């Protein structure tokens, strides 16, 4: 059974991806090596792109409805099944 991702979860994931992008940018600033430019461009832009896509998906995707099941629901279903045969 797959996990249901709510809109709030998508926004949290977008925030986490944006924080990862900022961390990659911060590391590339302090790293004194020519590869830091490529990490800045590649990793940061990928994380930013994924964050933006995840954030925009939270607006257009249908809301996930969560229903808290009570133990009485299961008992009622079992009673109906027993009564039916």
Model confidence at 52: pLDDT above 50? yes
d(CA 51, CA 43): 12
Task: State the Cα–Cα distance between residues 22 and 40, nearest whole angstrom.
Answer: 9
Tokens encoding 26? 């911060």
Report residue 39 as tokens. 């990490």
pTM tops 0.75? no
Give the number of other Cβ atoms within 10 Å of residue 13's Cβ.
Answer: 17
Q: Quote the pLDDT of residue 19.
A: 92
Domain ranges of the chain: 1-62
Segment 28-35 mean pLDDT: 82
User: For the segment 6-17, what is each residue's pLDDT rounded down to a tens digit?
Assistant: 778 888 888 998
């Amino acid at each position: 059974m797959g996990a249901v991702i709510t809109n709030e979860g998508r926004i949290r994931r977008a925030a986490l991806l944006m924080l990862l992008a900022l961390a990659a940018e911060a590391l590339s600033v302090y790293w004194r090596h020519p590869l830091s430019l490529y990490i800045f461009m590649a990793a940061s832009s990928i994380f930013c792109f994924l964050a933006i896509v995840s954030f925009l998906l939270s607006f257009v995707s249908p809301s996930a409805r969560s229903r808290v099941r009570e133990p009485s629901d299961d008992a009622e279903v079992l009673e109906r099944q027993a009564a039916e045969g």
